[in-house]
Amino acid sequence: MTSQGPKWRRVDFTAPQSGQSTLRLSWTGAGDLRFTVFNSATGQKLGENLTSANPKSVTLNLQAGVAYHSGLWAASGAGSYSYVLIQGTAPTTTTRPGPTTTTTPPPSGRPNVVVINLDDMRADMLAALPKVRQWLADGGTSFRNGYVSTPSCCPSRASLMSGRYVHNNGQFQQQNLGFDLDLTVQRYLHDAGFLTGHAGKFLHWLDLSVEAPHFDRWTYFKGGYENVFMNFDGTVRRSQGYSTTIVFDRAIEYVNDFESRGDARPFYLHLAPVAPHAPSIAEPRYASATVPAHQPDPSYMEADRADKPPFVRSQNQTPAAAQANRTAMIRTLYTVDDQVDRLMRHLQATGELANTLVVFTSDNGFLLGEHKTTEKFLPYRKAVEVPFLLRWPGRVAAGAVDDRLVTHVDVLPTILAATGVTQSRVTLDGRDLLSGFARPRALTEYWNDASNSPTIPTWASIRTAAYQYTEYYDLANPATVTFREYYNLQADPYQLVNLLADGVPTNDPDTAPLSQTLRAARQCAGSSCP
């Protein structure tokens, strides 16, 4: 089969149930092939071929009955490839259509960067945004296992901007000054000659009258949808109009301004609409708009929560309230869909889109009746899962789905790698997603915060493709574990049965190594981080 242009192509397969088997990939042509194989259950990388030899080949031994997936990247040029799965001496050949989505050569020069970070958007709400999906999912890569490192607004934003977990960047609570704005993506890019702009929600503790550090242009506010106070490049006044539209009005203004200063200089935009955060007030034209029907998973209004922590059992979200909240939230997102489309069209019209890296995500998810809870701040799936999309024509695969575990600490390292910008001020905890790195586990952490819900204690959690393990800590003695949760995510993806509190001791996992792994993750820095 023929492969043209840079694009990932995933191939899923399972080794035969008995005997040793081998996967062999062969490639001919002048192009540069990159090929990686992962264990689908654990995410472990078996091996890869990054050479430019012609013909190319890589051979890997497989475990019987294990599911695998491979990623094939034609980084340049074109050629033909074939997979051969060999059991004993009887090979069977699997051919796949080559990556043919784009023939556009990779862009040259440092790319522009646009980060769009929403507020409380669940990953499943992406289904209601067809224009975002068209531009960023069909035109880029969707990460199906995107998680926040802390499911709380300001701590999450700090991790995204700093590339560091909260235990290293220091932003433990919403309202308290915690992390150094000099150790941020905007600082590194600004110092490297990028023109930088921010529009939207920023940080709760930054006084609205203060200049936004390391941005050439800025419009920031604390929250709200209609006629809210904003800092417009140093002037604080009440805005006129709908805040989401204003965010993108300003973004387009910044693009035009930066273009007029010199088209050769790249720019960085950080856009943070407040949508769909409560109170979710829709733009008037969407105030009564129809929303997609709710398709709840089995955790919705979970009847038996005896295995959950006491502060979870004390929440009793009703179906009516959950549905009302969901409807209101999605209606605010319809304007986001329109405005992202408007910005992308403007970037296209100005000739900038072809060399612009776009990141689309949210500061956290939101619980809408799962386990009868509401809000975020908890380790459950809908609170920590977020949309995570990357688009960069010629460099990021179009229409691809990536199953790697990724978190917000990966955003900054990915941006630095894409732009060729280096910094030596601090060690980063995240990884460059363009490198193909696949983490075996992801860390999520949270600190008790009176500004959120004072009854939710400090907790930390690790997840792999196979399980999630969480510890909750005593407020007076943070070293004391007061409750534990363990979910077998393969058998119980909706976290219905906490094996450590289900009354069946024979199915309990050994918590000693899990606790040790979690303790190390909570103290990690740089390459020691999961």
Q: What is the pLDDT of residue 50?
A: 46
Q: Where are the domains of the chain?
A: 2-94, 114-402
Q: How many other CB atoms are found less than 10 A from the CB of residue 256? A: 11
Enter the tokens of residue 80.
């033909």
Residue 45 vs residue 130, higher pLDDT: 130
Cα 455 to Cα 311, 313, 452: the distances in Å are 7, 12, 9
Enter the tokens of residue 443.
């860390």
| pLDDT tens by residue, 435-478 | 999 999 999 999 999 989 899 999 999 999 999 999 999 999 99
Q: How far apart are CA 91 and CA 85, in angstroms?
A: 6
Q: What is the pLDDT of residue 66?
A: 77
Question: Which residue, 419, 248, 462, is CA-closest to 344?
Answer: 248
pLDDT at 9 over 90: no
Identify the CATH class of 114-402.
Answer: alpha beta
pLDDT at 26 over 50: yes
> What CATH number labels 2-94?
2.60.120.380
Question: Which residue, 117, 126, 374, is CA-closest to 220?
Answer: 117
Q: Which residues contact 228 (CB under 8 A, 6 or more apart)?
A: 221, 222, 238, 239, 243
Residue 41 vs residue 329, higher pLDDT: 329
**Mean of pLDDT values over 191-203:** 96
Question: Which residue, 350, 326, 280, 311, is CA-closest to 454?
Answer: 311
Q: What is the pLDDT of residue 187?
A: 97
Cα 507 to Cα 363, 486, 501, 510, 511: the distances in Å are 35, 11, 10, 10, 12
Q: What is the pLDDT of residue 86?
A: 59
pLDDT band at 244 (very low <50, low <70, confident <90, very high): very high
Enter the tokens of residue 154.
């300001």
3-state secondary structure of 418: helix
pLDDT at 58 over 80: no
Which residue matches tokens 């200063």? 261
- Is-contact 32 22, C-beta < 8 A? no
Q: What is the pLDDT of residue 239?
A: 96
| pLDDT tens by residue, 260-309 | 987 789 999 999 999 999 999 999 999 999 999 999 999 999 999 999 99
Same fold, 2-94 and 114-402: no
Q: What is the pLDDT of residue 16?
A: 72
pLDDT at 193 over 90: yes
Among the ranges given (203-207, 383-387, 505-509), the one the predictor scored with the smallest mean pLDDT: 203-207
Cα 513 to Cα 203, 306, 509: the distances in Å are 37, 25, 10
Which range of 6-10, 36-40, 176-180, 346-350 scores highest in mean pLDDT? It is 346-350
- Is-contact 25 36, C-beta < 8 A? no
Q: How far apart are CA 412 and CA 268, in angstroms?
A: 12
- Is-contact 384 155, C-beta < 8 A? no
pLDDT at 182 over 60: yes
Among the ranges given (60-69, 109-118, 311-320, 501-510), the one the predictor scored with the smallest mean pLDDT: 60-69
Which residue matches tokens 């978190």? 407
Q: Which residues pair with 408 in a beta bridge?
A: none
pLDDT band at 34 (very low <50, low <70, confident <90, very high): low
**Mean of pLDDT values over 311-336:** 97
Contacts of residues 309-317 at CB distance under 8 Å and 24 or more positions apart, as own/partner, are 309/472, 309/483, 309/485, 310/483, 311/453, 311/455, 311/456, 311/457, 312/371, 312/373, 312/378, 314/455, 315/371, 315/372, 315/373, 315/374, 316/372, 317/367, 317/368, 317/369, 317/372, 317/373, 317/374
Q: How far apart are CA 146 and CA 403, in angstroms?
A: 9
Q: What is the pLDDT of residue 128?
A: 97
3-state secondary structure of 299: coil
Q: What is the pLDDT of residue 379?
A: 98
Which residue matches tokens 């997840």? 463
pTM of the complete model? 0.81
Cα 276 to Cα 143, 175, 244, 328, 411: the distances in Å are 21, 20, 10, 8, 22
pLDDT band at 178 (very low <50, low <70, confident <90, very high): confident
pLDDT, the chain, mean: 88
Q: How far apart are CA 491 and CA 467, in angstroms?
A: 9
Residue 105 vs residue 466, higher pLDDT: 466
Which residue matches tokens 């970070």? 117
Q: How far apart are CA 39 and CA 140, in angstroms?
A: 24
- Strand boundaries in 365-476, DSSP class E: 367-368, 374-375, 389-391, 400-407, 442-446, 459-463, 467-473
Phi and psi (nearest 5°) for 338? -60, -45
